[in-house]
Chain A
Amino acid sequence: MGGYGDVKLLREDGLRLDGRKIDEMRPVKIEAGVLPAADGSAMVTHGLNVAVAAVYGPMEAHPRKIQRQDRAVIDVRYNMAPFSTSDRIRPGYNRRSREISKVTAEALESVVLVERYPRSKIRVEIEILAAEAGTRCAGLTAAAVALADAGIPMRDLIVGVASGKVEGIVVLDLDKAEDNYGQADLPVGILPNTGEIAFLQMDGDLSPDEYNLAMEYNFKAAAEIHEIMVDALKRRYEGGEN
């Protein structure tokens, strides 16, 4: 998040550099059940981001010290592939991936009925294959679809979406340039049916009015993405009537 310099991020006609309106999302495509070896999986293509999530479990939590007697623990591992950006990323865990893994796990714990599986662990692997800003949101969305695909009981799906501010204007769904040179970024995890917020982070500065507008954009986008998530899950089992 630069927030300074003279980088032009909005065109004179009011549109953004990639031709989107300020409240327009990048195209989103979701597919469930992409990994046959996993108990549940999903791939989310959000603009140029590609996130794959795999869910394994519930399984016995090891080592025993991580077990909780009254609930399951959700073990999230978020990782960006070395080839996901133009500059090669050094493989392995780093501070950023550790932080995103932690906030994603906490967000998912608020929707998964973890009390149904005491002493167990649900392993969620999120791999970012291509990155263009907003990977934590794409990863969270993919994880939610993969959990539903795995049959893990949840009280709602969870949608990752972000808004931000560029050149003093609140915009929905920042792309790479807007993320790097914009003034604020507000990724949130929204429960689309209840309207609750499972996680919220903010980078940069927003006034209360700008924040409210950004959240309005986020909720609107979350509703759209939620429809795509539901469609992806239903498509996987189309033709079924049990």
Chain B
Amino acid sequence: MSNGQNGAELRLVTPGMAIGPVAGKRVGSGAIAQNDTIIATRLGWTKEFNNTVSVDPINSAYMPRSGDLIVAVVAEVRNNLWFMNVNGPFQGLLPMSLAPWKVEFGAARQHMGIGDVVLARVQEVDECHNVVLTMKGVGLRRLNQGTIVSVPINHIDRLRGEGNATVQRLRDAADSRIIIGENGRVWIDGNAEGTAWARQAVALAQASGHKTTFEAELSALEQNAPKKGDA
């Protein structure tokens, strides 16, 4: 469970299940207040932090938020912008003014075509879920090599670890560059052996990220890592 569990009993709840009385508490994400009772709206683990009761969903779609670092794939190209698949319900829009290159009107295709993968940041999300991306920023770029694997949104924190400790372990063990996008896409770039091992580690997070045994299973997997001893 994430830090800050104070007071509320840690338990798995299903939609409609009563978590407890409102009693001065604030209702966070994954829950609603109904007749002075806090009701879960998602399948997940209850969490109480700073007098706010919420539900950490076990499974959820990626909903972009401003500032998210994501791995996006070009889905459509227009004269002056790109539509990007952000692994969410809506496509993101990358205007040429927010691309890292000087793009002439009509020349967008010369810089990126359909299927190209980029590391971008969510610039803005409005109330109608229009998503604007930017590639202006340190480290934001087109990803010309490596491989992309998916991981459930709710397991990202687990894969990243406290202060990026777990992902750093993976980078060291796989001797690869690994970037975890907030949108559930993980970019891995390294030699074949390292990439294969990193993929196994991500698959482990996908299968067991919600389990208490995840840490032990990951440590066991590290024994077969290309670069043992770093972990």
> Which A positions have Cβ atoms within 8 angstroms of B?
39-40, 57-60, 69, 111, 113, 117-120, 148-157, 191-194, 229-230, 233-234, 237, 239-242
Question: In the complex, which residue of chain B has the Cβ closest to the Cβ of A32?
Answer: B43
Query: A39 — which chain B residues lie within 8 A by C-beta?
Result: 59, 61
Query: B59 — which chain A residues lie within 8 A by C-beta?
Result: 39-40, 149-151
Query: A229 — which chain B residues lie within 8 A by C-beta?
Result: 14
Q: Which of A57, A60, A119, A240 contacts B212 (CB 8 A)?
A: A240
Contact B43 A239 (CB under 8 A): no
Output the least CB separation between A151 and chain B (Å): 4
Query: A237 — which chain B residues lie within 8 A by C-beta?
Result: 12, 43, 58, 210
Contact A120 B90 (CB under 8 A): yes
Q: Given A240-B58, A240-B210, A241-B1, A151 and B16 touching (CB < 8 A)?
A: no
CA distance A237 to B210 in the complex (A): 8
Q: List 21 A-B contacts (CB under 8 A).
A: A39-B59, A39-B61, A40-B59, A57-B61, A58-B89, A59-B89, A60-B89, A113-B32, A118-B128, A148-B14, A148-B15, A151-B61, A153-B15, A154-B15, A154-B42, A157-B16, A194-B34, A233-B43, A234-B14, A237-B43, A242-B210
Q: Given A60-B90, A150-B59, A151-B43, A240 and B16 touching (CB < 8 A)?
A: no
Question: In the complex, which residue of chain B has the Cβ closest to the Cβ of A33?
Answer: B59
Query: A194 — which chain B residues lie within 8 A by C-beta?
Result: 16, 34
Contact B212 A239 (CB under 8 A): yes
Contact A242 B91 (CB under 8 A): no
Q: Given A156-B15, A230-B14, A234-B12, A149 and B43 touching (CB < 8 A)?
A: yes
CA distance A152 to B129 in the complex (A): 17
Output the least CB separation between B120 and chain A (Å): 18
CA distance A119 to B63 in the complex (A): 13
Q: Is B60 an interface residue (CB 8 A)?
A: yes
- State the main secondary structure of chain B at its contact with A: loop
Contact B14 A157 (CB under 8 A): yes
Between A and B, how many residue pairs show CB distances below 8 Å? 106
Query: B45 — which chain A residues lie within 8 A by C-beta?
Result: 240-242
Contact A155 B16 (CB under 8 A): yes
- Residues of chain B in range 8-66 having any CB-CB distance to chain A below 8 Å: 10, 12, 14-18, 30, 32, 34, 39, 41-45, 56-61
CA distance A208 to B61 in the complex (A): 45
Report, nearest first, the 4 A-B pairs whose CB atoms are least far apart.
A156-B16, A240-B210, A151-B60, A151-B59
Q: Is B110 an interface residue (CB 8 A)?
A: no
CA distance A192 to B57 in the complex (A): 21
CA distance A191 to B89 in the complex (A): 27
Output the least CB separation between A55 and chain B (Å): 10
- Residues of chain B in range 59-111 having any CB-CB distance to chain A below 8 Å: 59-61, 89-91
CA distance A233 to B61 in the complex (A): 18
Output the least CB separation between A104 and chain B (Å): 17
CA distance A60 to B16 in the complex (A): 26
Query: B56 — which chain A residues lie within 8 A by C-beta?
Result: 242
Contact A151 B128 (CB under 8 A): no
Contacts A148-B14, A149-B43, A242-B45 known; 5 new A-B pairs at CB < 8 A: A57-B89, A111-B15, A154-B42, A155-B15, A156-B15
CA distance A117 to B127 in the complex (A): 10
Contact B39 A155 (CB under 8 A): yes
Q: Given A157-B16, A234-B14, A148 and B89 touching (CB < 8 A)?
A: no
